[in-house]
Structure 1
Amino acid sequence: MTTSERTVFDAAAAEDILRRACALADVEPDGIRMMRFGDHAVFRIAGGQIVSRVGRSPERLPSVQREVAVAGWLADAGYPAARLVTAAEQPVVVEGHPVTFWEGLGDGETYANTREMGELLRRLHELESPTFSLPPLRPFDKVTQRLKRAAIPDPSRAYLQALAEKLAAEYDRLEFALPAGPVHGDFNVGNVLRDVGGHPKVIDLDGFGTGPREWDLTQTAMYYDSFGWHTEAEYSDFVQGYGFDVREWSGYAVLRSARELLMVAWLSQNAGTNPRAAEEVEKRVETLRSGGSRRDWAPF
């Protein structure tokens, strides 16, 4: 099947691509189990010893190539992050979809505490920039790309795109408190896992770019104040670990709104194949319209 023939990227299509990539990379496709499905389909292989990420579309290739370069940079710097495995050149490309193979980290479900997260993020922001160039952070480009693929009602799509344009204009007027530099792009508790030795490591490296460090701080803050997913004590530990409270900066509300929009756009990609996701997207859109509480947003 060619790239043009595959019109649906669902769990079955992703696993088919993974199995073909395993053959090319000389990896045994034993015990394949899907972990999550978003911009990538993420699988555990060989009892969790290997984690594979299958890009949703050929458009993901540049960011995955950057992810591979970032992984090498962080390894050379001795920074605790996910490491690539297999001797094959990565990413492996099947039907245009980029596929990567990574060391499995523990059970894949044991997360760092928030103080460790803050300390790791501070260390990341203190690293010297890599010798290769990182693209400027352009979060609203992702919204547009995701909405193009989303099978959602036209009024919802139009509302989300208009909101993105409004927030992009506000974002461009912000005056940031911290110096710009390399950022993870998607730093949150779900992306800081413990390895088999119990040591926290940062994963999901494909969103790296150059931009305001406040962007990396916002998710943990909003998980506390908007969603209640962190306690006050946990958020305080994060602030102490990093050394700066982004909630006290004047532009925080704009970044929080941008992050919420990205969460909705991310989920909208699955609306065409997952009725529960489609229902959740519409609920979230209504919440954004009305300014209602985000505390009943279901996790995906």
Structure 2
Amino acid sequence: MKTTTEGLTRGRLNDLLDAVCASTGLSSREAELLKFTNNAVFRLRRAPVVVRIAGSAATRTRVPTVVQVAHWLARHDFPSVRLLADVEQPLSVDGHLITLWECVPEVGPRPGGTDLGILLRDLHALADPPHLPKWRPMTEIRQRLNEPEELSADDHAFLQHECDDVEEQLATLNYTLAPGIIHGDAFLGNVIAGPHGPVLCDFDSTTIGPREWDLTPVAVGSLRMNYPVDEHNPLAKEYGFDVTRWEGFPVLRRLRELKLVTSVLPILRSNPTIRPQWEHRMRNFKTRDLTVRWQPYR
């Protein structure tokens, strides 16, 4: 089992943030760390800019695609986050890939399932998508399993077996919707309540694949996460397809939950605050208990 030696501690993240800000004429003073899971996301205080630092080797491999998709969506005037203009992206600092984004003020109404349904429907309808990799979800998960922090040998073996089993099941699915460009991680955490309406963000997982996958995260969130509002039914109604009624949904649900368990493996030691929730998820996932609710990683 390979382990990461990067050690992206908060101090190391601050050093990377200072370096990239110094190289672009920005100030990192009083920057706020918004999230540290797959990426470390900072909001600068002295400029309307968001800084994303790829948090693992698996995430770094996708950064060029993120930049490509962002430029393509901007050309279509799609409601999505925009890369900071006049900066060559991505930036590289000590082997870490970093992107700078225009900060979207969250001042609009809270986005819901209907809003995400509209965004996905419009995204799936866009013409001339860029040349993107094909959807290979197990590749991403296996990459994370190659660089875990503080994962026991037994848990590692269990997750490896899960990858093999889910991969076999995916190969048997008969999809109903036409394939094409997909966001890849379409849940409401990746929708910003912008001043001119909801805005889509986070294109780390954007590929060419089954549209059913884009409808799965909110469906799984409704069933598994401890959210106060069910957003799945409004999304399904707006999009025109209820993925939970499709015979292949149990396989995609298992894949989604596998991703939710493995997404933070490369930073389990670096970000210890997420460990209790990860252990809770892992325990339920191993026992196949589909009734226990999960909380978002903080």
TM-score (norm 2): 0.91
Amino acid at match of 1:175: N
- Paired residue for 2:170? 171
* Deviation per residue, 1:160-184 (Å, 9 max, x gap): 1101110011011110010110011
Contact 2:33 2:41 in 1 (8 A): yes
Unaligned runs of 5+ in 1: 1-5
Cα separation, 1, equivalents of 2:291 and 2:273: 17
* Deviation per residue, 1:25-50 (Å, 9 max, x gap): 22222321101111211000026721
Question: Secondary structure of 1:182's match?
Answer: strand
The yes-or-no answer on 1:285 pairing with 2:282 is: yes
Question: Secondary structure of 2:40's match?
Answer: strand
- Paired residue for 2:92? 93
- CA 1:48–1:113 in structure 2 vs 1: closer, same or farther (change >3 Å)? farther
Cα separation, 2, equivalents of 1:27 and 1:276: 29
Alpha-carbon deviation of 1:262?
A: 0.5
* Deviation per residue, 1:104-141 (Å, 9 max, x gap): 121489741211110111000111132x3100111111
Question: Secondary structure of 1:283's match?
Answer: helix
- Paired residue for 2:161? 162
Alpha-carbon deviation of 1:236?
A: 2.0
Alpha-carbon deviation of 1:255?
A: 0.5
The yes-or-no answer on 1:252 pairing with 2:261 is: no
Moved more, 168-177 or 14-23: 14-23
Report sequence identity in percent. Answer: 31
- Paired residue for 1:140? 138
Contact 1:38 1:266 in 2 (8 A): yes
Question: Secondary structure of 2:285's match?
Answer: helix
Cα separation, 1, equivalents of 2:271 and 2:282: 17
- Paired residue for 2:197? 199
Contact 1:58 1:96 in 2 (8 A): no
Contact 2:261 2:278 in 1 (8 A): yes
Cα separation, 2, equivalents of 1:26 and 1:274: 29
Question: Secondary structure of 2:218's match?
Answer: helix
Question: Secondary structure of 1:115's match?
Answer: helix
Contact 1:270 1:278 in 2 (8 A): no
Amino acid at match of 2:198: P
- CA 1:295–1:193 in structure 2 vs 1: closer, same or farther (change >3 Å)? farther
- CA 1:111–1:143 in structure 2 vs 1: closer, same or farther (change >3 Å)? farther
- Paired residue for 2:237? 240
The equivalences for 1:28-47 within 5 A come to 28-46=27-45
Contact 1:68 1:90 in 2 (8 A): yes
- Paired residue for 2:119? 120
* Deviation per residue, 1:50-75 (Å, 9 max, x gap): 11100124554441111111111001
Amino acid at match of 1:297: W
Contact 2:226 2:294 in 1 (8 A): no
- Paired residue for 1:55? 54
Unaligned runs of 5+ in 2: none
Contact 1:91 1:100 in 2 (8 A): yes
Contact 1:268 1:277 in 2 (8 A): no
Query: Matched residue pairs, number?
Result: 293
Alpha-carbon deviation of 1:228?
A: 4.7
